[in-house]
A and B are shown apart, each in its own frame.
Chain A
Amino acid sequence: MTNMAEDLKATHLRDAAPLPPGAGSAEDRRRTDRKRSPREAKKRTANVIIYGVLVVLVVALMVPFIWMLSSSLKENNQVLTVPIQWIPQEFVWSNYTDIWTRIPMMGYLQNSLYLAVIITCLQVLTGSLAAYGFSKVRFPGRDVLFLAYIGTIAVPWQAYMVPQYIMMQNLGLTNSFNALILLQAFGAFGVFLMRQYYMTIPDELCEAARIDGLSEYGIWARVILPLSKPALASLALLTFVNTWNDYMGPFIYLTSNRLWTVQLGLRSFVGQFDAEYAMIMTGSVISVIPILIIFLIGQRYFIQGIATSGMKG
């Protein structure tokens, strides 16, 4: 999969190459305002059509979000009306203040944040350390061990969730954050993603650092880590979002309300008050906002991470 990342880079370079003449320099455009060549006019129309198609498409695909946002600002009895009201008659902003007292939303958010931060830090730290061992240090048995890592990525998690559960039960860790942290912080995925990236860093760099007298740990901390910032960002963002959005883990392990994450809290709210449509949508919007912010900041790394690893957590 590293090839894919390289290919991506290569295409960016190609994109940056000078465009063929007549494809739209400022001067060209000024000239065509008066005397437009038929070929360029055709290209322009094509572009307008494509923009049109894209806008319609994206709006259609975004309808669930638009509807969610609009419903979150309505009264309950105005959510499912005939015909659909896309814009609320009056904006019920109070939904966004009432929800904090209706359900312990703040507690849920804190729990989600706590889990996501701890798991992300552990995964990034242990993942990048192990990836260094797997890619830059040579020792017998290394590749067999790595094969075991890859092998478990192919086993569906559902196939071993029961033994995991028995184990956690015996350790007395069910109904605690620790169970989820232990289960999710040492994933093979992080090791795999980081190793893929480290393989693209030339060994000569490490060799030069060795000659300069750096220990292996020094090389990891002072040469490799600074070079792998994009991969670290990808892994951190993907892990954070996966943990934040995880439903099954908390569903299996967290039984008491005070430990619930946003996902569990929202689900239980829906189960208890299924007619409070507007408030349910308000909760949904609130659960999505942190992800939206993180995504907008780091979208580049998400896309790169996926193109590099082609895998989800």
Chain B
Amino acid sequence: MTTETITQAPAPVQSRGNRKQARRNTLIGWTFILPNFLGFLAFTLIPVVAAFALSFMEWTSFSAPKWVGLANFERMFASDSFWIALRNTVVYALGHVPLTMALALILAMLLNRKLKGIGFFRVAIFFPYITSLVAVAVVWNMLFSPDSGPINQFLGAIGIANPPGWTSSSDWAMPAVIITSVWRDMGYYMVLYLAGLQAIPTELYEAAEVDGASAWQRFWNVTIPSLRPTTFFVVVMLTVSSFKVFDLIVVMTNGGPGRSTTVLSQLIYQEGIGEGKFGYSSAISLVLFIIVLSVTVLQFKIQQRRER
């Protein structure tokens, strides 16, 4: 800001010097950006644009690229695996988003107080989020083992006669994946909620208390409305990450049993990199991107309307 006012304020008088300064600034700016930008351009920006173009082309590892218009999309909408993967992804999101959000908020409320050693509890709950995914998947797979796994032993002990088969059952594999991912992610969103909670002025609570509001009323009328921006952000992040879910499923169930946990990202991988159908897989990518984008835009709209 200051740079601009100092160098550009006397513009009419020394316009040549100014233009020289501007050119110099451009040059300097680009030298700073260039090292990152070259890599970004080549390995992110161009692939993103290419993905759009590819989805309208027929291109496999054995044939040259050919423009085919909407043929990939027609094939996709007629394919069973696409709809199964889409359905599974939506089911995963419907489980993962609300559960993670609710638990993260509860944990944040519980941990948002001045107590000795509270930092330890926060750190412990956050830790699963940065634990390696393979270790998480492997441990939970064993915890979920149907016959003598600790989870089913626990369920048996509290009187559930026929505990579910979890990852070996096509009905229960998705819930098992959702439980694992909620456990892993909630610490991360708890941190976001903690930041949101700490930004609420204490005066609001004091005023509500003076007015005789109960704890529940304070939660409902002070906490929830004040957290709205955080919640918006959390929902967007959670939804986007749910639709992108990939590695947890690959390691935990690899889409099985049958196709009961196959998700969109996995389909893109199988068709594109596994079988070399570059065009077709890019069409699925485009659908994934459009879903993610529309969810974000929709939530943005809702948020805006609420603020008005």
Q: Which residues of A contact B (CB under 8 A)?
A: 3-4, 7-8, 10-11, 14-15, 47, 50-51, 53-54, 57-58, 61-65, 67-68, 71, 79-84, 125-127, 129-130, 132-134, 136-140, 142, 145, 148-149, 152, 154-167, 182-183, 185-188, 190-191, 203-204, 206-207, 210, 216, 220, 241, 244-245, 247-248, 251-252, 262-263, 266-267, 270, 277, 280-281, 284-285, 287-288, 291-292, 295, 299, 302-303, 306-307, 310-312
CB distance from B153 to the nearest CB of A (A): 6
Are B285 and A206 within 8 A (Cβ)? no
CB B258 to nearest CB in A, in angstroms, measures 19
Are A53 and B132 neighbours in the complex by a CB distance under 8 Å? Answer: no
- Is B2 close to A, CB under 8 A? yes
Question: What secondary structure prevails in chain B residues at the interface with A?
Answer: helix
Q: Are B134 and A61 in contact (CB under 8 A)?
A: no
Chain B residues 175 to 193 lying within 8 A of chain A, measured CB to CB, are: 183, 188, 191-192
Judge whether B244 and A81 touch: CB under 8 Å. no
Nearest CB of chain A from residue B163's CB, rounded to whole Å: 13
In the complex, how many angstroms separate the beta carbon of A208 from the nearest chain B beta carbon?
Answer: 10
- Output the least CB separation between B168 and chain A (Å): 13
Task: Tell me whether A186 and B43 are in contact (CB under 8 A).
Answer: yes
Q: Is B37 an interface residue, CB under 8 A from the partner?
A: yes
Residues of chain A with a CB closer than 8 A to B139's CB: 64-65, 67-68, 281, 284
Is the pair B237, A51 in contact by a Cβ cutoff of 8 Å? Answer: no
Closest chain B CB from A77 CB (angstroms): 11
A210 CA to B247 CA, complexed, in Å: 48
A163–B198 touching, CB < 8 Å: no
Residues of B within 8 A of A203 (CB): 1-3
CB distance from B299 to the nearest CB of A (A): 13
Q: How large is the interface on B (under 10, 10 to 19, 20 to 34, 35 or more residues)?
A: 35 or more
Q: Known: A130-B35, A299-B123. Contact between A158 and B251, CB under 8 A?
A: no
A159-B289, A186-B36 as given contacts; A61 in contact with B128, CB under 8 Å: yes
Taking the closest CB of chain A, its distance from the CB of B43, in whole angstroms, is 5
Give the complex CA separation of A299 and B187 in angstroms: 13
Taken together as a complex, chains A and B put the C-alpha atoms of A307 and B48 apart, in Å, by 28
- Residue numbers of B with Cβ under 8 A of A are 1-4, 6, 22, 25-26, 28-33, 35-40, 42-48, 50-51, 54, 107, 110-111, 113-115, 121-128, 130-136, 138-140, 142-143, 145, 147-150, 153, 183, 188, 191-192, 195-196, 198-199, 202, 233, 237, 240-241, 243-244, 246-247, 250-251, 264-265, 268-269, 272-273, 278, 281-282, 285-286, 288-289, 292-293, 296
Q: Is the CB of A57 within 8 A of B272?
A: no
A contact patch SS: helix
The CA of A166 and the CA of B278, in the complex, are separated in Å by 8
A65 proximity list for chain B (CB < 8 A): 127, 131, 139
Q: What 9 pairs between A and B have smallest CB-CB spacing?
A: A186-B39, A133-B32, A162-B272, A7-B199, A126-B36, A11-B198, A284-B135, A163-B47, A130-B36
